[in-house]
Structure 1
Amino acid sequence: MADKLEIRMDEYLPLRDVVFNTLRQAILKGELKPGERLMEIQLANKLGVSRTPVREAIRKLELEGLVLMIPRKGAEVAEITRQDMEDVLEVRTALEELAVKDACDHITDAQLSELKKASNEFKKALLEGKDLVTCADADMHFHDVILSATNNRRLIQMLNNLSEQMYRYRMEYLKDERTHKTLIEEHDAIRRALKKHDKVKAGAAIRVHIDNQKRSILESLTEKEEDEEL
């Protein structure tokens, strides 16, 4: 059970939703590891709540695919599988390509300045060896600036929802320090294309960015599988 697991209270939300959000973020950020068992009594004691909101939260997490119910064993954090990762990244590629092309039409000078700042903050986080959560949040902010420039509320909503599912894969990608230099270069390529309002180059740059992420995560999953076989 994660030592850092702490409930994140919100006076505007029912307790069951607070517990759900707390556990959800713990899984997405890797505080609760894939394959780790989720025992209601232990979680309830750790969070200082009754078992009922924990049970309800686990059921909702199962619906989102973040938790699996194993017969005669109980709940555990879902593993990161190849199929799930490929499904999520396939959808992300299509939506992000649409987003950067829309952004080419609408991005303002102020948003371009914000994008450059976000790019620099992400680069600084990687080069200074900040923790994975800080790096992942900086990466998300870079993409959020692009998304906000689309002026497409439905697209923003869809990618924001997908972003939550992407968080686990983003963290997995950032663990490999060999990818950091490439990530910085890819962000620069995306930003340059947006500055020139070049839809073709922007679309190509985002596809390369996501394809490299997919390749890196697949390599990581393969290495883990090989280690488990030893």
Structure 2
Amino acid sequence: MKKNSMEHYVYDHIKTAILSRKLAPGKQLVENKISNTLQVSRTPIRNAIKKLSLEGLVDIIPNKGAFVTSPTKEEIIQAYELRANLEFLAASKAMDSMTEEDFTEIKKSIEEENKVLLNKNSEAYVKSNKSFHVAITEKCNNTFLNEFIVTLINRTNIYLLLYDEFFDNPEQQPYSPDEHTYILNLMEQKNEVELKIALENHFKRAFKSLDIRYNEYKEVDEIF
């Protein structure tokens, strides 16, 4: 197997294990154990871990090692609160520049979001969810504001993939598409007061849906 292929092989295995909630947040990724289990050298393992670190799925701590990202409750709350404030700022600026065509396209993205949620497809959901929010915030025409928001979306999407109980609860119905539709309607009405409240409630609901107690985790050699 070529070097790049081995790196991708390791990367794909670790990422899948994290996103499928088999490796616990905070779990150390021990190179020797991964090497023995996957029968690959340590170089592609290190490169794969670095790539996962850049994506926010792994934390590399000097003199300690690499660990599956494990955000504190306070960090998650801070991220969602900041998102609510920044996205309100962007959305309120975007309202005047959005056209009927923009609103129509965003409504189509909500329909797609509902489909992937009904199929319990978590990775497809975070993509459609990001598309909805970015389609709105990019219309604010503020490059720096958009960069900050995208960074926060990427970070909170990791929290969603790691902890959102929706994807493990067959009885729970999707709520996000309805809330997104309501937010979009308020923007069409240019109702800033209600929009601020709706965004705050939307992100509070997102935080409450996270189940940080999830504990059906395994060891590396049990997974691969």
Q: Which band: TM-score by shorter chain?
A: 0.7 to 0.9
Quick one: distance in 2 between partners of 1:23 and 1:151?
39
**1:66 lines up with 2:58 in the alignment:** yes
2:109 is aligned to 118
Structure possessing the higher relative contact order (Cα contacts under 8 Å, 6 or more residues apart): 2
1:89 is aligned to 80
2:190 is aligned to 197
Checking the alignment, whether the CA contact within 8 Å between 2:90 and 2:137 is kept in structure 1 is yes
AA of the residue aligned to 2:187: L
Among 152, 159, 178, the alignment partner of 1:169 is 159
Checking the alignment, whether the CA contact within 8 Å between 1:29 and 1:167 is kept in structure 2 is no
Q: CA deviation at 1:75?
A: 2.8
Quick one: distance in 1 between partners of 2:50 and 2:151?
19
1:159 is aligned to 149
2:176 is aligned to 183
Q: CA deviation at 1:71?
A: 7.3
Q: CA deviation at 1:84?
A: 2.0
1:3 is aligned to none
Quick one: distance in 2 between partners of 1:88 and 1:122?
22
Evaluate the alpha carbon distance shift between residue 87 and residue 65 of structure 1 in structure 2; reply closer, same or farther with a 3 A threshold. Answer: farther
Quick one: distance in 2 between partners of 1:47 and 1:144?
38
1:37 is aligned to 28
2:137 is aligned to 147
2:125 is aligned to 135
The residue matched to 1:91 in structure 2 has which SS? helix
2:69 is aligned to 78
Among 194, 204, 212, the alignment partner of 1:211 is 204
AA of the residue aligned to 1:214: F
Q: CA RMSD in A?
A: 3.9
The residue matched to 2:141 in structure 1 has which SS? coil
1:12 is aligned to none
TM-score norm. by structure 2 comes to 0.73
Checking the alignment, whether the CA contact within 8 Å between 1:111 and 1:149 is kept in structure 2 is no
Checking the alignment, whether the CA contact within 8 Å between 2:57 and 2:68 is kept in structure 1 is no
AA of the residue aligned to 1:148: E
The residue matched to 1:37 in structure 2 has which SS? coil
Quick one: distance in 1 between partners of 2:159 and 2:91?
21
Name the count of aligned residue pairs.
210
2:220 is aligned to none
Quick one: distance in 1 between partners of 2:77 and 2:177?
23
The one-character-per-residue Cα deviations of 1:16-40 (angstroms, maximum 9, x if unpaired) are 9x89x87996587457732333133
Quick one: distance in 2 between partners of 1:8 and 1:104?
45
Gap runs ≥5 in structure 2:
218-224
The residue matched to 2:199 in structure 1 has which SS? helix
1:51 is aligned to 42
The one-character-per-residue Cα deviations of 1:112-171 (angstroms, maximum 9, x if unpaired) are 1111001111112222x2421112211111112112222221111111112221112222
Gap runs ≥5 in structure 1:
1-6, 10-15
